[in-house]
Amino acid sequence: MLSKDMIEIGSKRSTIREIFEFGKRRAEIVGRDKIYDFSIGNPNVPAPESVKEAILDILENEDSTVVHGYTSAQGDDKVRESIADSINKRFGTNYTKNNLYMTIGAAASISICFKALSCKDDEFITFAPFFPEYRCFVEATGAKLIVVEANIENFQINFKEFEKSINKNTKAVIINSPNNPSGVVYSEETILKLTKLLKEKSKEYGHTIYLISDEPYREIVYKGVEVPYITKYYDNTFVCYSYSKSLSLPGERIGYVLVPNEIENFQDTYAAICGAGRVLGYVNAPSLFQRVVAKCADQTSDVSIYERNKELLYNGLIEMGYKCVEPGGAFYLFPQSLEADAKAFCERAKKYDLLLVPGDDFGCPGHVRISYCVQTEQIVNALPIFKKLAEEYNITK
Amino acid sequence: MLSKDMIEIGSKRSTIREIFEFGKRRAEIVGRDKIYDFSIGNPNVPAPESVKEAILDILENEDSTVVHGYTSAQGDDKVRESIADSINKRFGTNYTKNNLYMTIGAAASISICFKALSCKDDEFITFAPFFPEYRCFVEATGAKLIVVEANIENFQINFKEFEKSINKNTKAVIINSPNNPSGVVYSEETILKLTKLLKEKSKEYGHTIYLISDEPYREIVYKGVEVPYITKYYDNTFVCYSYSKSLSLPGERIGYVLVPNEIENFQDTYAAICGAGRVLGYVNAPSLFQRVVAKCADQTSDVSIYERNKELLYNGLIEMGYKCVEPGGAFYLFPQSLEADAKAFCERAKKYDLLLVPGDDFGCPGHVRISYCVQTEQIVNALPIFKKLAEEYNITK
């Protein structure tokens, strides 16, 4: 008499959450410093000091009933103005508050886009490796998620397979760059090829194929890497953003959907976003943190810590003989597992309390995700265990 | 190519939000003190000082990456323990953290219940007058909302009509007491009669009919009024709570679903709640405010201000000849409009910048909702306008 789907989804939980909960239980038994938990993307770099300052300033100087009160469903006007200004300044765009809809984080941003777009028989396409929750969110709207096989050479798009997967039911394509779980940033070449193909296919099938750009990691990029701003390449784009990673506020659930004026039927589209946010029960994005991110929109947590972690871990693993594409951003490494069955590999790692996430759920078997948004010390301590594993598999150089 | 439903729902917005936005625009033209906006349920009583103290304390003494980090999907363990303790202390119950699932406010709490329960052909029943967003949330799951006609004598349940509306497809009944928009509190007699009938009908149809108790106004009650704790009367109950009103934090989106152990198939049911929260993209309830409400769980904003407003407005209107059921709680008055067409009546009030919400959307035509969670001064200044309206309709005593 309950929804069977919901029981199943709620009982399984995500593999990531499952491993994370396991790690918490183990930590209570053997101590936190004995657990090498690389399972969850919870930033270890604290929010910039300006976040705390912003909170204190708002609490001190603004009216409590306003600060904690309802905002308009699309978000506070001034907040959206500040955020539009920040985007314009950084990316040379020309947005206003009317292009923004504040959300309770990236999961909400993309759920809203799926719900706003989804009609009978629709298909949404994404590229492996991909964030597994996409499947839940797409299927919750009644649509189907199509996953294009990974290009494991460099984790750019596998265009040959992609082209085959597009058909008359394709409603939208979801990209996530910098990518969770590979850390790879799509090159401008990839974006140009992708958007050219989408324009052609939209024409061929006589309807718009939308591009949903899920980019919570936009700000977490390393020296010399550029993340193209997608709306400059393709009009029918939704930008889904979250401050979870850039300001280290994943628990606070704050982000936005950006709808460019150039999108087909702007007014209806923005209305559909509002409608989707409404029926999904979001009401408004958390009001204090709307104001906080508006004040801190130009800032980012200290990315150099992630870059140092990346260097240490990536170089360490390569040295030991692991195969891995070098990430350009985010805080994930996605090496090949040392046996074909990534789950079996993760189980073996677990015996050493080394917690990794098998790539299978990301649509990319034979790989494991390592979230290195952890204390650098944890990486230092975990390297000998990675070494031991390599030795067990006889792959050491 | 967009979802037509979403465009429609997003274009119309809720009537309440529409009037609220109109009020904001008018205030900019004629000044805030010349607008008598009784449209929205945004508490005017500030959050208790302890909320601010809790925020400062947490920011000062806890680790930023934990405070702002992801919590378990069901909410932080310690937070849920504190809230269970507070409920037990106040209502003589015996809950633990395992009975609680933290949410982003009441809209999310009830959306989660609908999604967890909803199967093909399901019907959910509610009683007019009812919160109009119920319809959006129920229909978003593919189910149907059945509205039982109001008992306008006293806004208790119209049992005759209710019994007729129950059938083999009835999955759950949603109640909201203290009620938005009538302010009425269901008596123990009503609850006893309701739960007796639900037990009988569950037996008759061979399946459980659930009770969803949406109670964000539980704490806003006036002298001598008791709000029965529903799980004591009916095992198959979901309690949907929010701190929006009790702590004056509507913008922060923080609440919970309580699932009692006695509910049928507790484990599956709790799992379905988790599954629904997951597919709806909620991830976790805002992390800082989880901790804040845990610290302030025993407290309430100053209800005496609402009670004073109620006295002033209710007595004033009755004096003028308006017909109105006296509220026992919440911060709404739901008098009969002075002509059968409540929308026409509200339009006439609007000419004086007196903003009321027609009862039609609440499933109760011929009435208007007055949200009196406003400065007492606004009521004092609005009373002469109510008087003028009464004179226009020649109903003055």
User: Is B2 in Cβ contact with A117 (below 8 Å)?
Assistant: yes
Q: Which residue in chain B has the smallest CA separation from A278?
A: B10
Q: Is residue A127 classed as helix, strand or coil in its secondary structure?
A: strand
Residues of A in contact with B67 (CB under 8 A): 251
Alpha carbon separation from B330 to A82, B306, B359 (Å, rounded): 35, 8, 17
Convert the pLDDT of each residue in B55-114 to its tens digit.
999 999 999 999 999 999 999 999 999 999 999 999 999 999 999 999 999 999 999 999
Confidence of residue A396 (pLDDT cuts 50, 70, 90): low
The interface residues of chain B toward chain A in range 138-197, judged by CB-CB distance below 8 A, are 139-140, 171
CA distance B48 to B283: 28
Q: Does B47 reach chain A within 8 Å, measured CB to CB? A: yes
Task: With CB atoms and an 8 Å threshold, state whether A2 touches B65.
Answer: no
Residue A252 DSSP class: G
CATH architecture of B69-295: 3-Layer(aba) Sandwich (3.40)
Rounded to a whole number of angstroms, the distance from the CA of B387 to the nearest CA of chain A is 29
Longest CA–CA span in chain A (Å) reads: 64
Residues 273-312 of B with CB under 8 A from A: 273-290
SS3 (DSSP) at A223: coil
Distance between CA A96 and CA A93 in Å, rounded? 10
| Per-residue pLDDT tens digits for A328-352 | 999 999 999 999 999 999 999 999 9
Could you tell me which residue, B338 or A1, shows the higher pLDDT? B338
Size of interface A-B (CB pairs under 8 A): 273
Q: What is the mean pLDDT of residues A115-130?
A: 97
Chain B: closest CA distance from residue A319 (Å) = 31
Write the DSSP string, B371-384.
E--S-HHHHHHHHH
**What residues of chain A lie within 8 A of the CB of B8, using their CB?**
275
Interface contact flag, A281 B280, Cβ < 8 Å: yes
Spatial CA neighbour of B257 closest among B51, B67, B117, B68: B117
DSSP state letter for A105: S
Is residue B116 within 8 angstroms of chain A, CB to CB? Answer: yes
Instruction: Select from A40, A58, A134, A253 the residue whose CB has the most chain B CBs within 10 Å, as the one to mutate to test that interface.
Output: A253
DSSP A193: H
What pLDDT was estimated at residue A17?
81
Distance CA A54, CA A58 (A): 6
- Kindly state whether B56 is in contact with chain A, defined as any CB-CB distance less than 8 angstroms: yes
The model's pLDDT over B253-269, given as tens digits with 9 standing for 90+, comes to: 999 999 999 999 999 99
Measure A136 CA to nearest chain B CA, in Å.
5
Query: Are B6 and A276 in contact (CB < 8 Å)?
Result: yes
A27 touches B at CB < 8 Å: no
Assess contact for A294 and A82: CB atoms under 8 A: yes
The class that CATH gives domain A71-295 is: alpha beta
A268 lies within 8 A of chain B by CB: yes
pLDDT tens for A240-285 read 999 999 999 999 999 999 999 999 999 999 999 999 999 999 999 9
Angstrom distance (rounded) from CA B315 to CA B92: 36
- Closest listed residue to residue B247, CA positions, set B256, B255, B239: B255
Cβ contact A21:B291 at 8 Å: no
Which residues in chain A have their CB less than 8 angstroms from residue B46's CB?
63-65
Pick the more confident residue, B186 or B395.
B186
Give whole-number Cα distances, B287 to B46, B59, B76, B251, B302, in Å: 21, 12, 8, 14, 25
* pLDDT over 80 at B7, yes or no: yes
- Length of chain B, in residues: 397
- Is the Cβ of A40 closer than 8 Å to some Cβ of chain B? yes
Cross-chain residue pair A6–B269, CB shorter than 8 Å: no
Distance CA(B198)–CA(B213), nearest Å, equals 14
pLDDT over 70, % of chain B: 99
- Tracing tokens 């938990």 back to the chain, one arrives at A37
DSSP state of B247: T
Question: Cα separation of A382 and A110, whole Å?
Answer: 34
| Chain mean pLDDT for chain B | 96
Closest alpha carbon to A287 in B13, B256, B23, B250 = B250
The nearest CA of chain B is from the CA of A103 a distance in Å of 10
A142 vs A139: CA distance, rounded Å: 5
Q: Is the pLDDT of residue B345 over 80?
A: yes
Asked if the C-beta of A105 comes within 8 angstroms of chain B's C-beta atoms, the answer is: yes
Distance from CA of A134 to the nearest CA of B (A): 9
Q: Which residues pair with B357 in a beta bridge?
A: B369
For residue B179, the distance in angstroms to the closest alpha carbon of chain A comes to 19
pLDDT band with cut points at 50, 70 and 90 for residue B40? confident
Please give the structure tokens belonging to residue B174: 């949603």
- B111: chain A residues, CB-CB within 8 Å: 280-281
Taking CA–CA distances from A74, the nearest residue in chain B reads B10
Query: In this predicted structure, what is the pLDDT of residue A16?
Result: 85
Q: In the structure, what pLDDT confidence band is assigned to residue B396 with cuts at 50, 70 and 90?
A: low
How far B341 CA lies from chain A's nearest CA (Å)? Answer: 28
* β-strand pairing of A255-258 with A100-103: antiparallel
CA–CA separation, B256 and B324 (whole Å): 32
Interface of A with B in 228-247 (CB under 8 A): none
Q: Which residue has the tokens 């460019």?
A: A260
Give the pLDDT band of residue B397 (cuts 50, 70, 90). Answer: low
Neighbours of A94 (CB within 10 A): 11
For the stretch B120-132, pLDDT in tens is 999 999 999 999 9
Of A42, A139, A277, the CB nearest to B69: A42
Look at strands A170-175 and A210-214 and give their pairing.
parallel
CATH code of the domain occupying A4-48+301-392:
3.90.1150.10
User: For B179-215, how does the pLDDT look when each residue is reduced to its tens digit (9 = 90+)?
Assistant: 999 999 999 999 999 999 999 999 999 999 999 999 9
CB contact under 8 A, A275 and B8: yes
Does residue B118 register a pLDDT over 90?
Answer: yes
A112 neighbourhood in chain B, CB within 8 Å: 281
Nearest CA to CA, how far is B54 from chain A (Å)? 12
Separation of alpha carbons A333 and A350, rounded Å = 18
Scan for tokens 């633990």, then name that residue. B96
DSSP string, B153-218: TTSS--HHHHHHH--TTEEEEEE-SS-TTT-----HHHHHHHHHHHHHHHHHHTS--EEEEE-TTT
pLDDT band at A34 (very low <50, low <70, confident <90, very high): very high
Helices (H), chain A: 4-12, 15-30, 49-61, 64-67, 77-91, 106-117, 133-140, 159-165, 188-205, 266-279, 287-295, 303-320, 342-350, 376-392
Q: Give pLDDT, residue B110.
A: 98
Nearest CA in chain A to B284: A251
- Residues A238 and A85: their CA atoms lie apart, in Å, by 18
Query: Is B6 in Cβ contact with A108 (below 8 Å)?
Result: no
Query: pLDDT tens, A42-59?
Result: 899 999 999 999 999 999
* Measured distance between the N- and C-terminal CA atoms of chain A, rounded to whole angstroms: 57
Sign for the pseudo-dihedral over CA of B319, B322, B324, B329: negative
A146: β partners: A125
A251–B46 CB contact, under 8 Å: no
Q: Quote the crossing angle between the two packed helices A133-140 and B266-279, to the nearest 10°.
A: 90
Cα three-residue angle A291-A296-A300, rounded to 5 degrees:
140
Contact between B334 and B182 (Cβ < 8 Å): yes
Q: What is the token pair recorded at A78?
A: 């001034």
Q: Is A11 in CB contact (< 8 Å) with chain B?
A: yes
Rounded Cα distance, A394 and A305, in Å: 32
Does residue A397 register a pLDDT over 60? no
CB contact at 8 A, A210 and A199? no
- Is the model's pLDDT at A220 over the cut of 80? yes
Structure tokens at A53: 């300052």
Note which residues in 196-215 of chain A have CB less than 8 A from chain B.
207-208
Kindly state whether A108 is in contact with chain B, defined as any CB-CB distance less than 8 angstroms.
yes
Among A6, A80, A42, A51, residue whose Cα is nearest residue A284: A80
Half-sphere exposure of B230 (CA within 13 A, CB side): 31
User: Is B68 within 8 Å of chain A by CB?
Assistant: yes
Pairing of strands B354-355, B36-37: parallel
Strand spans (E) along A206-280: 210-214, 237-242, 255-258
Residue labelled with tokens 């943190």: A289
For chain B, which residues make up each domain, given as ranges? 4-48+301-392, 69-295
Local structure of residue A362 (DSSP, 8 states): G
Cβ of A11 within 8 Å of Cβ of B275? The answer is yes
- Tokens standing for B244? 């929006």
Residue B277: name the closest of B295, B298, B302, B255 by CA.
Answer: B255
DSSP bridge partners of A209: none
User: How many whole angstroms separate alpha carbon A213 and alpha carbon A128?
Assistant: 15
CA pseudo-torsion sign A239, A241, A245, A246: positive
Share of chain A above pLDDT 90, in %: 93
Q: Work out the minimum CA distance from B372 to partner chain A, whole angstroms.
A: 15
State how far the Cα of B389 lies from the Cα of B397, in Å rounded to an integer.
13
Residue owning tokens 């657990």: A35
The DSSP 8-state label assigned to residue B245 in this structure reads T
Strand partners, A125: A146, A173
Per-residue pLDDT band at B370 (split at 50, 70, 90): very high
Mark yes or no for CB contact B59/A55 under 8 Å.
yes
Q: Mean pLDDT over residues B30-54, rounded?
A: 93
Instruction: Report the range of poorest mean pLDDT among B113-122, B324-333, B386-395.
Output: B386-395
Best A39, A70, A269, A374 residue to mutate vs chain B (most B CBs within 10 Å): A70
Return the pLDDT at A237: 98
Q: Are strands A368-371 and A332-333 parallel, antiparallel or unpaired?
A: antiparallel
